[in-house]
């Protein structure tokens, strides 16, 4: 069985702003990253603003700086709008939403329940479908590839062993 993820975000966090609070401007996002997260220009490769969903994606130059930000914020920080209203901002590893995974080289005899059980450690499996040959061919039948849609877990449960190793090292260096 071979598994291919269709999309991944590496070294990227997402800051999720409260949709019930006023919108934050690009200028204030940059100030938040500099002041609250203590990020310098050399730490960041890209900042992408998703205004309608009130999200800001920050791609870091390396994983170490991203992990330091996640440890510092412990998943959230408080932002004060220009009118002084406080707002909690979630700071998470990006890409922990829905994932589509292609699973190849499976026979029809392997039930979806088995695949669901194997993938469940990563989150809730929403749907498993069989990929079909295109209608341009004579036989539009199953081609041996299944597509699984998974709502990935959020928070420390899904973070990698690398995070745990980094966290242990970080706490040891800080004397905690």
Q: What is the pLDDT of residues 69-107, one digit of tens each?
A: 989 998 889 998 888 889 899 998 887 667 778 888 878
Q: Could you tell me the domains of the chain?
A: 10-95 (3.30.70.330), 98-152 (3.30.70)
Round to whole Å and give the CA distance between 54 and 52: 6
Round to whole Å and give the CA distance between 29 and 27: 5
The 10s digit of each residue's pLDDT in 20-63 is 888 889 999 999 999 999 999 999 999 999 888 889 999 999 88
pLDDT band per the 50, 70, 90 thresholds, residue 118: confident
Q: DSSP string covering 66-115, please?
A: HHHHHHHHTTEEEEE-TTS-EEEEEEEETT-SEEEEEEES--TTS-HHHH
Output the pLDDT for position 138.
83
Question: What mean pLDDT is reported for the chain?
Answer: 79
Backbone angles phi, psi at 46, to 5 degrees: -155, 150
- 0.85 exceeded by the pTM? no
Round to whole Å and give the CA distance between 53 and 19: 8
């Amino acid at each position: 069985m071979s598994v291919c993820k269709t999309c991944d975000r590496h070294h990227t966090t997402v800051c999720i702003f409260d949709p019930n609070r006023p919108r934050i401007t690009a200028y204030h996002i940059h100030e938040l990253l500099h002041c609250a997260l203590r990020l310098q220009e050399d730490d960041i490769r890209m900042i992408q603003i998703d205004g309608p969903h009130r999200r800001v994606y920050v791609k870091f130059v390396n994983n170490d700086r991203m992990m330091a930000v996640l440890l510092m914020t412990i998943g959230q920080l408080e932002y004060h709008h220009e009118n002084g209203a406080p707002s909690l901002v979630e700071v998470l590893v990006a890409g922990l939403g829905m994932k589509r995974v292609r699973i190849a080289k499976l026979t029809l005899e392997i039930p979806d329940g088995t695949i669901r059980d194997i993938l469940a450690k990563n989150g809730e499996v929403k749907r498993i479908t069989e990929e079909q040959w295109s209608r341009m061919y004579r036989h539009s039948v199953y081609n041996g590839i299944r597509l699984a849609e998974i709502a990935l877990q959020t928070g420390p449960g899904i973070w990698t062993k690398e995070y745990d190793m980094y966290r242990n090292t970080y706490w040891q260096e800080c004397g905690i």
